Amino acid sequence: MKDFATLFTRIDESTKTTVKTAALADYFRTADPSDKLWTIALFTGRRPKRTITATRLREWAAEVAGLPDWLFEESYSIVGDLAETIALVLPPAEHDDDQSLTYWINTIKTLSTLDEEDRKAGILKAWNSLPTTQRFLFTKLLTGGFRIGVSAKLITRALAQATGQPEPELTHKLMGNWTPDTATWETLIEADDPTADLSRPYPFYLAYQLDSLDDLGPPADWNAERKWDGIRGQLIIRGGEHHLWSRGEDLMTDRFPELSTLKDYLPDGTVIDGEILAFSDEKPLSFNALQKRIGRKTVPKKLLTEAPVILMAYDLLEHQGQDIRQAPLAERRNTLASLINQTPDETPIRLSEAVAFATWEDLAQARDQSRDIGAEGLMLKRLDSPYLSGRKRGDWWKWKIDPLTIDAVMIYAQAGHGRRANLFTDYTFAVRQGNDLVPFTKAYSGLTDAEFREITAWVRKNTLQRFGPVRQVPPTHVFEIAFEGIQASPRHKSGVALRFPRMSRWRKDKPVDEANTLDDLKEMLATYG
């Protein structure tokens, strides 16, 4: 695994994508094919099955390191990564036998067939034969989640450099539900038919937030539609089967069983990009309703009637088995509309209607209605645009509505994890109620590093009380909290729950007694909840 550790170190040490890409390309040119395939799999979120619980790993690591469990936990909370904590606290390895990445992954797979005592022996042996970086990577494989700052884009770019194949083709080849057990380097990368796998999705096309309307040119060149607040998904109907993919490449087919009827009404060889929405009486339900369906592998009947979903269709990527992504948007949407028109009304699919507008002022007005109809804003797409892959500027823009905001008082602070381990970055905020402060949300993001440093220094000097890792601070600082939605929530003391809360501004100009009140918050709930 030495060459994999070297690859990791080269990637991890650098902040420059050119360096990371070069490191990956070197690796793809020289490594063993099986190791290469595993590397692609790991960096695209395909990891071996978990065979050991995190709890056991902690216990064993603490035991080997001679630490009490609480001290291991304290260390973990500072490091923010279990595998890294384990790699750091263990005594230095006594052996160093260089085995391949595939060897260690196979070792992990075999662990599942052993009883607990033998599993423990296997893992302790591995820890004792791997130098720190390899030990970290091995443990990372055990704990799952292999996010190390390598995007799928970087992988495809490096593969393109190493193999000479075009990037978009490689991106497409890497999509779908292959694993190193079902594919080989040869079948996945070298072979040239990306459609061999019927379930394989196309890469999603994503938009940036619009900077300014001024550069867009004549309104007539553009299609506007609502930006719906659901789950972006890609529906694939091929070979009499249907598959539903999320943007994060999760297969969601079984979570939304009502969409299975679509394959009866849409022809084979159809791929649609759209938004899964909880939907009733021709209106989207709140994201809260959809949230109940997320994460459920099977859906009870009650939930199916309470929060039925539809596919709000945005775009057509494949028609009659042909990849039509290069055709102009206007043409793709016309075909999409005619396909949807042929389905009965009760079929859970709708066309995301175009928003009519003659001038940008019209469109701005339409955008202002977003919140009333349950949308997040508008999408602007050039009528002659192809369907590209990844986040690109120019042809597609999202034009989200401004968030809701409230001025709140910081009352607790907690240190962050990982990158933010020695900074206080996680705060609890309160609104005023008479002379009291009622906590109503936490927020972690939105400030600059300099602001986080300033607050960290202040928290250190102004801690009133400690509750474990949480510091109570005097109510001094007011922050503007921005959020996307507000819901009633009996679980919270304040009675509300916010969607995507973050700090939009540090209101150094505002004293605490000018922060918003619980009544203000309740009024927002009444208006927007």
Partner 1 sequence: MADVLTFTDRGIYCPAGDFHIDPWQPVDRALITHGHSDHARLGMGRYLATTGTAPVMRHRLGEITLDTISYGEETQIGDAKVSFHPAGHVPGSAQIRVEVKGEVWVVSGDYKTVADGLSEPFEPVKCHAFITECTFGLPIFKWTPQDILTEQINNWWATNAAAGRTSILGAYALGKAQRLLATVNPDIGPILTHGAIENTNEVLRNQGITLPQTTYATADITAKTHPGALVLATPSALGTTWTRRFGPASTAFASGWMALRGVRRRRAADRGFIVSDHADWDGLNDAIKATGATKIFATHGYTSVFQRWLTEQGYDAHVVSTDYHGESLDNSEESEA
Round to whole Å and give the CA distance between 122 and 134.
16
CB of 21 to partner 1, least distance (A): 15
415 versus 481: smaller Cβ distance to partner 1: 415
39 versus 456: smaller Cβ distance to partner 1: 456
Strand (E) or helix (H) holding 527: helix 518-528
CB of 278 to partner 1, least distance (A): 37
Round to whole Å and give the CA distance between 252 and 233.
9
Cβ atoms within 10 Å, residue 460? 11
339 versus 455: smaller Cβ distance to partner 1: 455
**Nearest of 323, 36, 45 to residue 183 by alpha carbon:** 36
121 versus 457: smaller Cβ distance to partner 1: 457
Residues at the interface with partner 1 (CB under 8 A): 12-16, 65, 67-68, 70-71, 74-75, 78-81, 84-85, 88-89, 149, 417-423, 449-450, 453, 456-457, 466
CB of 62 to partner 1, least distance (A): 10
CB of 481 to partner 1, least distance (A): 24
Phi/psi for 256 (5° steps) reads -125, 70
149 versus 239: smaller Cβ distance to partner 1: 149
222: three-class secondary structure by DSSP: strand
Quick one: three-class SS letters along 38-98? HHHHHHCCCCCCCCCCHHHHHHHHHHHHCCCHHHHHHHHHHHCCHHHHHHHHCCCCCCCCC
DSSP-assigned states of every residue in 146-212: --SS--HHHHHHHHHHHH---HHHHHHHH-SS--TTT--HIIIIIS--TTSSTTPPPPPEEEEEP--
The answer to whether 309 and 257 are in contact (CB under 8 A) is no
418 versus 511: smaller Cβ distance to partner 1: 418
**Nearest of 250, 200, 163, 180 to residue 35 by alpha carbon:** 180
CB of 77 to partner 1, least distance (A): 10
User: Which residues participate in catalysis according to the annotation?
Assistant: 227
- Determine the residue type at 74: E
CB of 289 to partner 1, least distance (A): 36
